Amino acid sequence: MMQAMNQTTTRLNGQLMEREPLARYTSWRVGGFADRMYKPSDIEDVQNYLRSLPSDESVLWLGLGSNVLIRDGGIRGSVIYTRGCLNQMCETDDGMLYVEAGVPCALVAKLAAENNLSGAEFLAGIPGTMGGALAMNAGAFGGETWGLVNKVLLVNRQGDLIERQAAEFDVGYRSVSVAKDEWFVACYLAIPAGGNQQSREKIRQLLVKRAETQPTKIASGGSVFKNPQGYHAARLIEELGLKGKQIGGAQVSEKHSNFILNTGDASAEDIERLIEFVKKEVQQKQGTLLQTEVHILGEALEQ
C-alpha cells in the first residue's frame, strides 16, 4: 500500500508524515500515532491526496483537535490535518463570507466584525475550526453554526468537489446529516449587516464570560456531554458532587463540570474511563443517559 502511495506523492504539494503522534495535535494532549498524516496546501491538493489513496484506506479529518478524544492506540489509515492549511477566508462580491475548513472559528467572528457583519460573534467562543463546526453544528452562547450557512463545498472519497445548499442538510442540536465519505472543505456564510464596534464589544464580552465560566488555560476537549433537552449536563454532574472527581490524570473540572481536564499526565484511557464513570453515575442516580458531544476515535492501546 505504501508503495502505491509513494508513486503518487510527487504530484502532491502538501506534507506527508508517517507514524505521527497525535497528542501534539489534540486539545486534550493525548492520542496515539496516525499511520499517516497529510497537511494539504489547498483544496485541490486535498482532492489529489484522496485520489492517491488505496480504496480501502480510512480517512479522518482533524482541525484544532478539540471535541475529539483519540485513543492511545492511535488511528489506522490517514489523518488529513487542516489547521493552517485550508485557511482561505474572504468576503464575496455578494456580501457573504467564504471560509475554508481549516480557519479557526474565532477568526471568522473577527473578520465578520471587521466587515460590519453582525450575528457571528458567538463563533469566538467555539475552540475549533469551521470544518469541525460545520460537521457537528457547533454552538456557543445561544448561537449555532448552521444558522449562518448559505451553502457548502464538500469533497468526497474519490476527490470530487460537491456544492450543496444549506437546505439540503438535516441539521439539529450538535448534529448534521452528511453522506458517508463526504467532508466539508469550505462554506459560504450569510451574515446580516451590523455595527463594527458593537460586534467587537460583544465578542470581548463573550470571551470574558468564557474565561470566567470555563477552564480555558488547561488541556481539555471542550464540552464533553450534550445537554439533555430542557436541562444542562453540567448541572446534573455537579448535583452529584462529581466536580474534581479524578481517574489517573483525568479530572472533572472544578470550574465547569461538563469539562474533563488533562491535569498533566492523563492518558486517553484515563479520560475515557472518567467519561464512562460520569455517564454511569448520572444514569443510575439521576435517571438521565448523557450523550457524548466529543467524538471518541481510534484504537485502544494493546495491553
Residue 303: its pLDDT value, please?
63
List, for residues 225-249, the tens digit of each pLDDT value. Answer: 999 998 999 999 999 999 999 999 9
Burial 27-36 (b: 16+ CB within 10 A, else e): bbbbbbbbbb
122 sits in which H/E element: none
Residue 71: its pLDDT value, please?
98
List residues bridging with 175 in a β-sheet.
172
> Could you give the CA distance from residue 210 to residue 67 in angstroms, rounded to a whole number?
16
Reply yes or no on whether the pLDDT at 131 is more than 90. yes
Residue 8: its pLDDT value, please?
45
Question: Are residues 148 and 191 in contact, defined by beta-carbon separation less than 8 angstroms?
Answer: yes
Give the catalytic positions in this structure: 174, 223, 293
> Could you give the CA distance from residue 46 to residue 11 in angstroms, rounded to a whole number?
12
List, for residues 247-292, the tens digit of each pLDDT value. Answer: 999 999 999 999 999 999 999 999 999 999 999 999 999 999 999 9
Residue 251: its pLDDT value, please?
98
The C-alpha cell that represents 291 in the structure block: 450523550
Reply yes or no on whether the pLDDT at 200 is more than 60. yes
List, for residues 133-181, the tens digit of each pLDDT value. Answer: 999 999 999 999 999 999 999 999 999 999 999 999 999 999 999 999 9
Terminal C-alpha separation, the chain? 27
> Could you give the CA distance from residue 36 to residue 46 in angstroms, rounded to a whole number?
14
Q: What's the whole-number mean pLDDT along residues 220-225? A: 96
Percentage of residues in the chain with pLDDT exceeding 90?
90
Model pTM? 0.91
Residue 4: its pLDDT value, please?
35
Structural domains for the chain? 2-81 (3.30.43.10), 89-212 (3.30.465.10), 217-297 (3.90.78.10)
